[in-house]
Amino acid sequence: SQKIEQNSEALNIQEGKTATLTCNYTNYSPAYLQWYRQDPGRGPVFLLLIRENEKEKRKERLKVTFDTTLKQSLFHITASQPADSATYLCALNTGGFKTIFGAGTRLFVKA
Amino acid sequence: NAGVMQNPRHLVRRRGQEARLRCSPMKGHSHVYWYRQLPEEGLKFMVYLQKENIIDESGMPKERFSAEFPKEGPSILRIQQVVRGDSAAYFCASSPPGGDEQYFGPGTRLTVT
């Protein structure tokens, strides 16, 4: 069956360190993959999109990698800040109209 | 440019009543998605619409749920004869023509008593 897996355990890191979140998928061949941030009680906010022919994408302190052989995307936040504490969602689109979201990983950045 | 708007933000319905959730996409966006999110779970795709057309409703329950996006006015997600299991946060997202990223509204939290 088709699955997207994100670390269900929360990630706790110290301010200033790099946070790395993982998204693994099976039985998909996504045309692109997206990362969103969601704060409690609010809608997700789009962060980055990476296409199947791209290996890496950056935006300010954020970096996303996409390995279609491993079927994995890594999401990095460098120089993390307490304000980065949130749930981060991975989402796949296989070229059609449907977007499949992972359950998300909670990140806590301690000052 | 106003973001995606959803109303109401909170909706309480008794079992058997109807729930109507509204979504106004961002200006210039012609595509609307509806998702449902249960506590501690991910977003579940329900339906994708363009103006006056349902493009993909593969995530919609076959009974009691319907969606529309008329030529004028907001997109509506309608749930008839609500049951307790319909209690969830319902999010709407829009995307521009040719764009893949989605911009989400604040959600409507439906509680069925």
Q: Is the pLDDT of residue B20 over 90?
A: yes
pLDDT category at A11 given cuts 50, 70, 90 is: very high
For residue B10, the cross-strand partners are B109
How close B60 gets to chain A, by Cα (Å)?
12
How close B15 gets to chain A, by Cα (Å)?
24
pLDDT category at B1 given cuts 50, 70, 90 is: low
Say how far apart CA B91 and CA B49 lie, in whole Å.
14
Say how far apart CA B45 and CA B68 lie, in whole Å.
15
Work out the average pLDDT over B2-14. 95
The structure tokens listed for B105 are 């509204």
What's CA A97's distance to the chain center, in Å? 20
Say how far apart CA A75 and CA A24 lie, in whole Å.
11
pLDDT tens, position by position, B55-100: 999 999 999 999 999 999 999 999 999 999 999 999 999 998 888 8
Work out the average pLDDT over B47-62. 92
Q: What is the pLDDT of residue A78?
A: 97
Cβ contact, residue pair B107, A104, below 8 Å = no
pLDDT tens, position by position, A57-94: 999 999 999 998 999 999 999 999 999 999 999 999 86
Q: What is the pLDDT of residue A95?
A: 66
Residues 6+ apart with CB under 8 A from B13: B19, B82, B110, B111, B112, B113
Q: Is the pLDDT of residue B40 over 80?
A: no
Residues 6+ apart with CB under 8 A from A104: A6, A38, A87, A88, A89, A90, B42
pLDDT category at A97 given cuts 50, 70, 90 is: confident
Which is nearest to A38 in space by CA: A82, A94, A81, A85?
A: A85
Which region, left, alpha or beta, applies to residue B64 given φ > 0 means left and ψ of -120 to 50 means alpha?
left
Q: What is the pLDDT of residue B42?
A: 84
- In chain A, the residue whose alpha carbon lies closest to the alpha carbon of B90 is A43
Q: What is the DSSP string of B42-108?
A: -EEEEEEEETTEEEE-TTS-SSSEEEE--SSS-EEEEE-S--GGG-EEEEEEEE-TT----EE---E
Share of chain B above pLDDT 70, in %: 99
The structure tokens listed for A97 are 């109209």
What's CA B105's distance to the chain center, in Å? 9
* Amino acid in the structure at residue B30: S
pLDDT category at B30 given cuts 50, 70, 90 is: confident
Work out the average pLDDT over A46-66. 95
Share of chain B above pLDDT 90, in %: 81
Nearest to B42 among A46, A49, A103 (CB): A103
